[in-house]
Structure 1
Amino acid sequence: MCSGHYIWAIFFFASLCSASLANNAKINFREKEKKVLDQILGAGKYDARIRPSGINGTENAPTLVYVNMFLRSISKIDDYKMEYSVQLTFREQWTDERLKFDDIQGRLKYLTLTEANRVWMPDLFFSNEKEGHFHNIIMPNVYIRIFPNGSVLYSIRISLTLACPMNLKLYPLDRQICSLRMASYGWTTNDLVFLWKEGDPVQVVKNLHLPRFTLEKFLTDYCNSKTNTGEYSCLKVDLLFKREFSYYLIQIYIPCCMLVIVSWVSFWLDQGAVPARVSLGVTTLLTMATQTSGINASLPPVSYTKAIDVWTGVCLTFVFGALLEFALVNYASRSDIHKENLKKKRRDLEQASLDAASDLLDTDSNATFAMKPLVRHPGDPLALEKLRQCEVHMQPPKRPNCCKTWLSKFPTRSKRIDVISRITFPLVFALFNLVYWSTYLFREEEDETF
């Protein structure tokens, strides 16, 4: 029993000693990190104003800075302001021979700093930036890692609003290329050169969600610029966004089609229903005009014609044409009534003249009159009429015209206009849809220059 207590006591004492030694080792290790930082960044030992030397310590060679980034989110793409907002983790890596240190046999992998002003930093800026800010919750989202070979890694999380000049000729069947440009502000290519990191310089979060857009692909490239003060290194990322058409199909195209079709209901109403046809035409016209103004309010005033302008303009023309068609029908209806009144008056006059002639024959029935000759002269009207009938029978029969035969079923001209409009308007609108969609869908594929 006593021997068991002794064993447990020895085991407990040994564990306390090992823990104490481990804590001392940690304390000593952190002390060594502090000594290394004081050794390489101490006062009078490192000047952050002087740029690092070039490759292999060459003083005259430019400093090479390798850039990569992680695209975290794209919050909005504004068509009216022609800009987009993005949040990203931006990284730069370069080598500074002055920051080399002993890694203590591989136990000290890197040193971490949170103050960027302690070491030299490239003067990179975003040339197409409109607004931007750092993230400081809970602590500033930035760090600097210094590796034993003198390599420096700078990482920071930033949010940017960047300019994106857009070509809206194919809107909303368009694709837009938005760029993110980074360049040196003060160092020329003789002193500083930016390069994309090999492998995968741009990474995008997997569940990236964009409102009304889809990020199809991206491309990294160089965009060095020359000015009066020299040539400056520049990097760019081109992001290809494809607009989601389903939103515009539901919100714009289908409602416009419905308004155009509703305006055709006027062709099936009675010609005498003037208030119904006028109110239907005016209501659809005003609704279509409101829809058009709402679409244009969300787009910048550009000097060229957009695809949506063609669509709304033609739909507005069809609705306006349906209203004008009723005006034509109303005019033709009044003209038909006027002609019918004239025919009625003519029939009344003919009937009156026939009655008067019959009365005259009745009064002269007892009078004597000369015998009519048995042989008629060539100029006799009756003989001429018989001759015409013979010529008509001698002519070959004409083929019946289907359209005229069908239109002859509708006696009035106003009714014929309504019947023709019932067929013409849908056929022309269907032809317009065929031309519109074939033109802009094929042009979308041809104009893709990415």
Structure 2
Amino acid sequence: MPTRAQLLGATLVTALLCGSGPVAANNDINIFNMMVKNYKPEEAPDRYGPRGAYIPVQAQAMLEAIEVDEHGSAVTLRCLWRLTWTDMRLRYRGSPAAGGLMISHATAGLMDAPKIWLPSVLYPRSLSVDFDNSLDNMFMIRPNGTITWQRRVITKAPCGLNVAYFPWDKNTCRVFLRQNLDSKALMLNWTRSGVRPVYAGPNLSISGFRLTSLGASSRIGSMAEDHGGPARSKSLVLRVTFRRVSIYYIINDIIPTCILVIASYMTFWLSPGSVVVRALLASFMLLACFIVTAIAGRAAPPVAFIKALDLWNFVCLFFLLWALVQSLVVYRMSLGCGSVTDDAATPELQPPKPPAQNGNDNDPEAIVAETLPPPPPPTDDLGPLPPRPRRRTVSPRLLDLVSRVLYLLAFCIVIIVFGVVYS
């Protein structure tokens, strides 16, 4: 009388010889239905460890998509999770080349009543958890009783985004996976089968950011004791690190403000008397900088502190204001020194008018008395005059020359500092 394992092995060999595709899928379903005929899904598999304390379950995750919600400080991860455990009640005889039985969720009765035992896991600290019931969700049952459960999970977890370095910010978010406190004791571990426990899919989708690293770790929490569960609850931590793609802000904010600052530098090369041209040019650059920063700032996350991009805009506004104030100061100094070259600032010199005659044209003594200056006061009693102090004045052209060097040097230093600190 052939045993149940022999019958399953014979059926599996027949399925492999018959072909693949829909026929092979139907054979897998028939074999699976024979295996779970007397199976009790409410009973947990054999436990391992000291006194059979836990059921080992290995986990692996493939990241498919990342969506960052900056306004809600949350991140949504779409992952394809694979949980692997061993159930000795589902062993069968099969060829090593067979691989295993491919069973869909519908065949396994996951929608209504599961036909096999499944580990009960939770995603703590998550805002929402959705399950995508697509064709990729399935079970693989190997001949030695090893079961791999593949399921796509969409998890939205809170993530405190640090945008102080915006738009060169880098953030790390975490998603936790642990056992249900009301279920049997599980020992969750990341897979150690020679592959990475967490990796990015070939078609990873992430908008506005660039994935820099993925990490996997575990932690032991004491929260299970408060819920009447096991004394030690192990959680798996999926760590995702991503950096913002800053090319949009560089093209729409950094480069235009640099051009405006360099254009305002040209005002130092104009004549000190060209106050109208210098003031209009500096004012136009200042207004244009306000418009550029306002447009680019609409795409920035709303926060209540100064970001790196805001600091850059403030520095550019300072340089533009420097050029405007410099123009007014130089013009005022040129008026005091008498070196203004504009036509409006230099009144036309008129010849002195002759003294008015009062009708005594024929009296030479009256004419001489009117034209002679009054006699100087006596200086014998006043003593020597004190030395006249020299006024040290700065030439407007010298001030422009110094400003040309300081302006350009200060702006180059600012660019280098920003590149070192925020790169």
C-alpha distance 330-135 of structure 1, shift in aligned 2 (>3 A): same
Q: Taking structure 1 as reference, are residues 337 and 78 closer, same or farther at Cα in structure 2, changes over 3 Å only?
A: farther
Q: CA deviation at 1:235?
A: 0.8
State the partner residue of 2:123. Answer: 126
Residues in 2 aligned to 1:339 and 1:299: alpha-carbon distance in whole angstroms: 47
User: Paired residue for 1:425, among 407, 411, 423?
Assistant: 407
Counterpart of 1:226 (choices 222, 236, 240) is: 222
Which 10-residue stretch deviates more, 233-242 or 208-217?
208-217
**Equivalence for 2:101:** 111
Partner of residue 434, structure 1:
416
Which of 48, 53, 66 in structure 2 is aligned with 1:55? 48
Flag the 1:61–1:321 CA change in 2: closer, same or farther, 3 A.
same
Secondary structure of the residue aligned to 2:222 is strand
2-side partners of 1:339 and 1:275: how far apart?
Answer: 13
Distance 1:255 1:59, change over 3 A: same
Give the RMSD, CA atoms, in angstroms: 4.8
Change in 2 beyond 3 A, CA 1:327/1:127: farther
User: Which deviations, in whole Å up to 9, do the C-alpha atoms of 1:281-318 show, x marking residues without a partner?
Assistant: 33322332233334443333445443223211111111
Q: Cα deviation per residue 1:261-294 (whole Å; 9 max; x = unaligned)?
A: 2223333445565554444333322332233334
Distance 1:38 1:302, change over 3 A: same
2:140 corresponds in structure 1 to 145
Q: 1:250 and 1:85 mapped to 2: Cα distance?
A: 28
- Could you list the per-position Cα deviations for residues 216-240 of structure 1 after superposition, in whole angstroms to 9, with x for gaps in the alignment? 3322101333222254321112233
Indicate conservation of the 8 Å contact 1:79/1:298, yes or no: no
8 Å CA contact 1:80, 1:299 repeated in 2:
no
For residues 235 and 242 of structure 1, the distance between their equivalents in structure 2, rounded to whole angstroms, comes to 23
Query: Is the CA contact 2:275–2:328 (under 8 Å) kept in the aligned structure 1?
Result: no
1:237 is aligned to 238
- The residue aligned with 2:257 is 256
Report the counterpart of residue 64 of structure 1 in structure 2. Answer: 56
**CA spacing shift, 1:34–1:436, aligned 2, 3 Å:** closer
Corresponding residue to 1:196 among 185, 190, 197: 190
Q: CA deviation at 1:103?
A: 1.9
Against the structure 1 CA distance between its residues 193 and 287, is the aligned structure 2 distance closer, same or farther, given a 3 Å change threshold? farther
Larger Rg: 1
2:187 is matched by which residue type in structure 1? V
Amino acid paired to 2:292: Q
C-alpha displacement of 1:256: 1.6
Kept in 2: contact 1:167–1:176 (CA 8 A): yes
Aligned to 1:93: 84
What's the offset of the Cα at 1:205? 3.5
* Contact in 1 for aligned 2:55/2:186 (Cα 8 Å): yes
Q: Which amino acid aligns with 1:176?
A: N
* 8 Å Cα contact 1:81/1:300 also seen in 2: no
Once the two structures are superposed, the pairs formed by residues 30-45 of structure 1 within 5 Å of their partners are: 36-42=31-37, 45=38
Higher helix share: 1
TM-score normalised per structure 2: 0.68
Distance change in 2, residues 1:335/1:361 (3 Å) = closer
Which has the larger displacement, 237-246 or 148-157?
A: 237-246
SS in 2 for 1:205: strand
Distance 2:273 2:166 in 1: 43
Could you list the per-position Cα deviations for residues 322-367 of structure 1 after superposition, in whole angstroms to 9, with x for gaps in the alignment?
2333343454456567999xx99xxx99x99xxxxxx679989xxx
Change in 2 beyond 3 A, CA 1:289/1:360: same
- The number of residues matched between the two structures is 371
Unpaired stretches in structure 2, ≥5 consecutive residues = 1-13, 356-367, 374-379
Cα distance, 1:258 vs structure 2: 0.9
Looking at structure 2, the residues matched to 67 and 180 of structure 1 have their Cα atoms a distance apart, in angstroms, of 13
| Alpha-carbon distance between aligned partners in 2 of 1:264 and 1:193, rounded to the nearest angstrom | 67
Choose the corresponding residue for 2:149, options 136, 150, 154: 154
State the secondary structure of the residue aligned to 2:161: coil
Alignment of 1:301-316 (within 5 A): 301-316=302-317
Inter-partner Cα distance in structure 1 for 2:371 and 2:25: 144
Q: Distance in 2 between matches of 1:120 and 1:234?
A: 21
Following superposition, the deviation at residue 105 of structure 1 comes to: 6.7
SS at match of 2:56: strand
